[in-house]
Amino acid sequence: MDTEAKARKWALLALIAALVILAGTIAWSSLQNSSPEPANAIARDEPTIEELLDATKARPDDAEAWTHLGMAYFDRDEFALSVPAFERATALQPTKAHLWSLLGEARFKAAGSNAMTPAAREAFGKALAIDPGDAPSRYYMAVAKDLAGDHEGAINDWLALLADTPPGSAYEQDLRLTIEQVGKINHIETATRLAKVKQPIPPGAPPTMVARLPGPTSEQVQDAARLSPSQQMEMGRGMVDRLESKLKADPSNVPGWVMLMRSRMQLKEPDKARAALAAAIAANPGARAQLEAEARDLGVTR
């Protein structure tokens, strides 16, 4: 594979992984409001709960069907109902770290208490045993320390997570804010430590993709790399369309609009990127300067 082809492949895989992260792992605690999606799931129109239940009855041994059902309940804040769906998914695919972190978050939120339950901790632990770099599980294990009173330990763990987070990742600023807030509440200095954090840039990423793209995990890259180029493009387009639908429902999500513009440009759809910029500014006039600056960096013209 020549250098240009490798760059295109990286760019597409990075786009897919970035969308997974934006639609997924940034759901951690109070960071943001959507739930993770498997890297090998090709997005489509949102099915109803009834349709998803029918799918699990028709394909009881299909982990993806159970995952979609769990995510649907999760998105509706019906966490207690999402737990058994994710439990079934992990039973069917016990080596998938992202399924265990989904289960852990669902168990944590279903408990409805300001403490990490043993069941949630167990799920996060299994995710980390499979993938020690699993970001949502690392985040929640630090939450467990904070809730148990080990605020210094939690901040150290979050700083370590930040050090493994490529600049501009969808959850980066909220992670920084979490560190700052926990430090302020507990009288722990964080500004100097945050300033010293050195974040990585994905190796081999083209310059246009380096600008604030989260890096894909090895599992995400492997899953997407198994697909043909046309399937990868189909996956990318489907996920971008799904992101656009979510932004119509929640137009206040400024990072989401930036990701949509970036994705449209990566898919060679500048007209749609311009339309996204216009819609973003209309919905968030106070963020106009930020959005226009991001658009300029991405090559989006008005």
Is residue 220 included in any domain, yes or no? no
Would the pLDDT of 221 be above 50?
no
CATH number at residue 236: 1.25.40
How much is the pLDDT for 145?
93
Assign residue 122 the CATH number of its domain. 1.25.40.10
Residues 178, 203 share a domain: yes
In whole numbers, what is the pLDDT of the chain averaged over residues?
77
Contact, 277 vs 295, CB < 8 A? yes
Residue 106 has pLDDT above 80, yes or no: yes
Do both 103 and 237 map to the same domain?
A: no
Report pLDDT for 163: 92
- State the pLDDT at residue 237: 72
pLDDT in tens, 196-213: 998 876 544 433 333 333
Of residues 165 and 157, the one with the higher pLDDT is 157
**Tokens (6 digits) for 204:** 């081999």
218 in a domain, yes or no?
Answer: no
| Residue pointed to by tokens 């910029």 | 277
Left (φ > 0), alpha (ψ -120 to 50) or beta: where does 44 sit?
A: beta
String of b and e for 222-240 (b: at least 16 CB within 10 Å)?
ebbeebeeeebeebbebbb
User: Which residue, 132, 138, 126, 189, is CA-closest to 162?
Assistant: 138
What mean pLDDT comes out for the span 118-131? Answer: 95
Quick one: 269 and 134 in the same domain?
A: no
Are 152 and 268 contained in the same domain? no
Domain match, 245 and 101 both: no
Residue 56 lies in a domain: yes
Overall domain count for the chain: 2
Rg, Å, the chain Cα set: 19
206 found inside a domain: yes
160 part of a folded domain: yes
- Give CA–CA dist 94/88, Å, rounded: 10
Instruction: Please give the model's pTM, rounded to 2 decimal places.
Output: 0.57
Dist CA 153 CA 11 (whole Å):
36
- The answer to the question of residue 221 being in a domain is no
Task: Count other Cβ atoms within 10 Å, centred on residue 107.
Answer: 24
Residues 135 and 173 grouped into a single domain:
yes
> Could you report the per-residue pLDDT of 29-41, keeping only the tens digit for each?
334 333 333 333 3
Amino acid (1-letter code) at residue 149: G
> Could you tell me how far CA 48 lies from the centroid of its own chain?
23
Same domain, 83 and 165: yes
Q: Which domain holds residue 181?
A: 3-210
Q: Tell whether 73 and 176 lie within a shared domain.
A: yes
Residue 236 has pLDDT above 80, yes or no: no
Nearest to 48 by CA among 23, 75, 21: 75
* pLDDT at res. 6: 46
Asked if residue 217 is part of any domain, the answer here is no
Cα 19 to Cα 258: distance, rounded to the nearest angstrom: 11
Q: How confident is the model at residue 112 (pLDDT cuts 50, 70, 90)?
A: confident
